[in-house]
Copies of this chain bind each other. A is one copy, B any other.
Amino acid sequence: MSIFEKLESEVRSYSRGWPVVFDRAVGSRLYAEDGTPYLDFFAGAGALNYGHNNPVLKQALLDYIARDGVTHALDMFTVAKRDLLETFQQNILQPRELDYKLIFPGPGGANAVEAALKLARKVTGKESVINFTNAFHGMTLGALSVTGNSMKRSGAGIPLVHATPMPYDHYFDGAYPDFLYFERLLDDSGSGLNEPAAVIVETVQGEGGINAASLEWLRGLSDLCQRHNILLIVDDVQMGCGRTGPFFSFEDAGIKPDMVCLSKSIGGYGLPMALTLIKPELDVWEPGEHNGTFRGISPAFVTAAEALRTYWADDELEKSTRAKGERIGAALQGIVEAYPEANLTAKGRGLARGLEFENGETAGKVCAAAFERGLLMETSGPDGEVAKMLPPLTLTDAEVGEGLEIIDASVKAVLGK
C-alpha cells in the first residue's frame, strides 16, 4: 500500500481516476514521475486558465520570491496588493465600466461565496437565498447550503436550510417560460417562499454538467432581481477570468451583478486567491467583521497582476478562447451526430465544453479511455454523465487538435463503431 493510500483520507477523489504520481507541468501538459506526458483538459478544474507554470508569470513569481517580497501579509497594505488593485482597476473594471469594491475574502472560492452570502444577508436583513438546480458553490457550510449535489449536501451532517432551489435555464428543456415558478412564488404573498436576500448563480454550471445559461435567461434573471429588489450574485469562480471568452462570463449578457465571486484562475499561477466584488453601496461591513489568515498572499497577487497585464490589456485571449471554443464545440457536435443512437449532447460555451452521455458509467469509461490515451478529462453532472473539457485558455491549436483526436478515439473505444 502506498503512502498515499495509507495516510490520506478516503475522501480523495481525482487520484482514483488518474492513478499516477505527477511531478512536473508546463503549459497544457502534466508529467508523471516516469516522464509520461498528459495533455490537460481539466486545468485544475478551471484554476489554470493560463496553463501550468506559465513562463511569464513564473518569472514574475521567481523574481518576487528572490527579492524577498513579503509573502504573507494578512490584509495589510503592500506593494504587491497596490499593483494588483491598480491593474485590476485599469485592465478589468474601467474598460467594462464596472464599479466594484474588492473584498479579499480568504484563499478559496468558497470564501468568496461565504463573504457574498454574509454581506447579502447583512445588507438586506433577510436570511433566505435562491440557488439553482445543479449549482456548485463550495464545501463550507454556507457555500454548501447553496450547492445542489445531494451526496455533497449530505456530508454537512446538519440540515442545510436557508436556500431554495429554482430551475436553472433549460431545466425543462425549454418547454416552459423562464422564471415561471420563481416569479409566481415571489408575486404571491401566500406562496410560502421566504423572501430572498439574494440569488446566486453560475452563468455556466461546470460541476453541474456544463449547463450554459442563455444570455436571454441571464438578462431575465437580472431583470427579475431588480424588479423584486433581490441582490444578484454571480459566482464566476470557475467561469470567470476568461473561461467563456470575456473576462467576466456575464459580460456577453450585458448585465451588472451586485456581487461577483472570483477565485481559481484569478491568481494566475494556481496559487490560492479569491475576490468578492461588490457594488460600493453594499460595503456596509464593520472593519474585521469578516477576516482570515490567508487574505494577503502576495505571490498570488504578483502572478495575478502579471496575468492581467499579459492577457487582459487587449482582447486577443478573448477572441482566441471564443475561436477555440467554437472549434471544440463543432467537433463535439460532430461526435454527437456520428452516434445518433447514443443520445449524446454537446454542451457549453467558450472553453467550458462538455459531452453528455446517457449515464455516468459511459462518461466515466470515456474519461478512462482518454486517460489511457494521455488526456486528462473529468466527468461532471449530477450522475457524472458529462465529460467535461476545461483546457488552459492558452493551449495551442495543435493541442486542441490533439485533444479532440483523443476524445474521438475514446468515444469510439467506448461506444463502438
Contact = CB atoms under 8 A, between A and B. Distances in A.
Interface of A: 2-4, 7-16, 18-26, 30, 33, 44-48, 52-53, 58, 61-62, 65-79, 81-82, 85-86, 88-89, 101-104, 106-111, 114, 117-122, 127-128, 131-135, 138-143, 145-165, 167, 171-172, 176, 180-181, 184-185, 188-195, 197, 208-209, 237, 263-264, 269-272, 278, 283-294, 297, 299, 381-383
B289 A24 contact: no
A25 B296 CA distance: 14
Given A107-B272, A293-B263, A118 B71 contact: no
A147 B192 CA distance: 6
Contacts of A163: 192
Secondary structure at the A interface, as helix, strand, loop or mixed, is: loop
16 contacts: A3-B86, A11-B286, A12-B75, A13-B288, A18-B76, A22-B76, A26-B68, A48-B72, A121-B156, A127-B157, A148-B188, A150-B191, A152-B290, A154-B289, A165-B193, A181-B181
B14 A151 contact: no
Contacts of A165: 185, 191-193
A337 B237 CA distance: 54
Given A14-B76, A21-B82, A278-B9, A155 B290 contact: yes
Contact of A77 (B19, B25, B108, B284): B19
A272 B272 contact: yes
A283 B10 contact: yes
Please indicate which of the listed interface residues A9, A189, A237, A381 has the most CB atoms of chain B within 10 Å of its own CB.
A9
Nearest to A193: B165
A9 B285 contact: yes
B192 A148 contact: yes
Given A11-B291, A108-B292, A159-B127, A72 B89 contact: no
How many copies of this kind of chain does the complex include? 4
A292 B155 contact: no
A43 B54 CA distance: 31
Given A108-B293, A138-B292, A148-B191, 16 more contacts: A8-B102, A44-B73, A45-B293, A52-B68, A52-B70, A117-B141, A127-B157, A128-B159, A149-B189, A149-B190, A152-B289, A153-B194, A154-B289, A163-B192, A167-B181, A189-B383
Given A159-B194, A189-B150, A191-B165, A67 B111 contact: no
Given A22-B79, A149-B189, A155-B285, A7 B68 contact: no
A143 B148 CA distance: 21
